[in-house]
């Protein structure tokens, strides 16, 4: 059983901890928090040993009535691998800690690509991360784009990708984020950072991305146009995507018309926190004109990277190949609505 440390128990970290616990070959050794809050209390309620990420704040946990198992250094020292789910930029500061204890580390997409040995997407470049010491699980949007691009490249070849990303202003719990009543080009320059980030997975890919932020919290929305290297029929692409476990093709019969309905469906289906680990593609939006492919897809920014982190754990520890790991993760989580 791989002993997994989770450093950072917020939006991503708590979801990764729950997912790791469900795997047949992993255990959560412990989780680390910088301060006591409802998530720290929930971690203890769930039976996760809680560690203090900042030594100077250890007494805050005692004052809040929360028992800690020790400092984060103890957690990292005992772990087979650590998942750093701290805010952007903090992972880079933590790298020296992981190197001190010779513990392989996974970072999230907010860290710079040059911090790590390889940027990771399970469907696209699993083998590149095998036995690596520092791996970056790419962002929610890059994950979503990579899952679509990989099968298209393999089946038809890709000449050019054009993606417009309509991004949520903040997560539901981020009361300090926005906009509240606006639509912002973000950035106003082209390309957005997403295109270069996808190129960390596919270095030879020609991709342009445009981004904007809107007053929404539930999900991102992508409008995709991919020019392929051969003519293709839309029905063929639907069949291709239907075989991809992390692409959910939303049937027209479900009458799911947007992010709100998608989240309602996920909750009704019993998904924890209403999470949608898959890309959510509207099947009727999948269209082709000659060599050009089009679709709309929803990306749940809080959860689509969760199975990727689980697969990255197996990659860096050499515990499984891509096919075996993805299948194990998907079965354990119940991926495939």
The residues carrying an active-site annotation are: 140
Residues in the chain: 337
| 134 annotated to bind ligand | no
| 295 annotated to bind ligand | no
| 110 annotated to bind ligand | yes
| 136 annotated to bind ligand | no
| 260 annotated to bind ligand | no
| 3 annotated to bind ligand | no
| 273 annotated to bind ligand | no
| 291 annotated to bind ligand | no
| 139 annotated to bind ligand | yes
CB 21 within 8 A of CB 31: no
Which pairs with CB-CB distance under 8 Å and at least 24 residues apart come from 259-263? Answer: 259/216, 259/218, 259/219, 259/221, 259/298, 260/218, 262/218, 262/219, 262/298, 262/300, 263/218, 263/219, 263/300
| 299 annotated to bind ligand | no
Please enumerate, by residue number, every residue annotated as part of a binding site: 11-12, 110, 139-141, 168, 194-195, 301
Please enumerate, by residue number, every residue annotated as part of a binding site for NAD(+): 11-12, 110, 168, 301
Please enumerate, by residue number, every residue annotated as part of a binding site for D-glyceraldehyde 3-phosphate: 139-141, 194-195
């Amino acid at each position: 059983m791989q002993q997994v440390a989770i450093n950072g128990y917020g939006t991503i970290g708590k979801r990764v901890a729950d997912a790791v616990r469900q795997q047949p070959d992993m255990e959560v050794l412990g989780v680390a928090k910088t301060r006591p809050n409802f998530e720290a209390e929930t971690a203890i309620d769930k039976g996760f040993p809680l560690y203090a990420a900042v030594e100077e704040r250890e007494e805050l946990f005692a004052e809040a009535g929360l028992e800690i198992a020790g400092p984060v250094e103890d957690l990292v020292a005992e772990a087979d691998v650590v998942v750093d789910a701290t805010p952007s930029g903090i992972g880079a500061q933590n790298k020296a800690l992981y190197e001190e204890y010779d513990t392989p580390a996974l970072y999230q997409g907010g860290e710079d690509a040059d911090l790590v040995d390889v940027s990771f997407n399970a469907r696209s470049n699993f083998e590149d991360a095998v036995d690596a010491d520092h791996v970056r699980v790419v962002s929610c949007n890059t994950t979503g784009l990579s899952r679509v691009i990989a099968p298209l490249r393999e089946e038809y070849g890709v000449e050019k990708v054009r993606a417009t990303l309509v991004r949520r202003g903040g997560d539901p719990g981020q009361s300090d984020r926005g906009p509240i009543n606006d639509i912002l080009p973000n950035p106003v320059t082209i390309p957005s950072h997403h295109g270069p980030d996808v190129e960390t997975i596919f270095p030879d890919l020609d991709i342009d991305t445009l981004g904007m932020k809107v007053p929404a919290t539930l999900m991102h929305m992508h409008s995709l146009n991919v020019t392929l290297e051969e003519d293709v029929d839309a029905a063929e692409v639907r069949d291709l995507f239907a075989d991809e476990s992390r692409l959910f093709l939303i049937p027209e019969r479900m009458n799911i018309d947007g992010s709100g309905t998608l989240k309602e469906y996920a909750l009704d289906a019993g998904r924890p926190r209403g999470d949608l680990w898959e890309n959510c593609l509207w099947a009727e939006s999948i269209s082709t004109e000659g060599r050009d492919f089009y679709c709309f897809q929803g990306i749940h920014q809080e959860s689509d990277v969760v199975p990727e982190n689980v697969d990255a754990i197996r990659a860096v520890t050499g515990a499984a190949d891509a096919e075996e790991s993805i299948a194990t993760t998907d079965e354990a989580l119940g991926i495939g609505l």
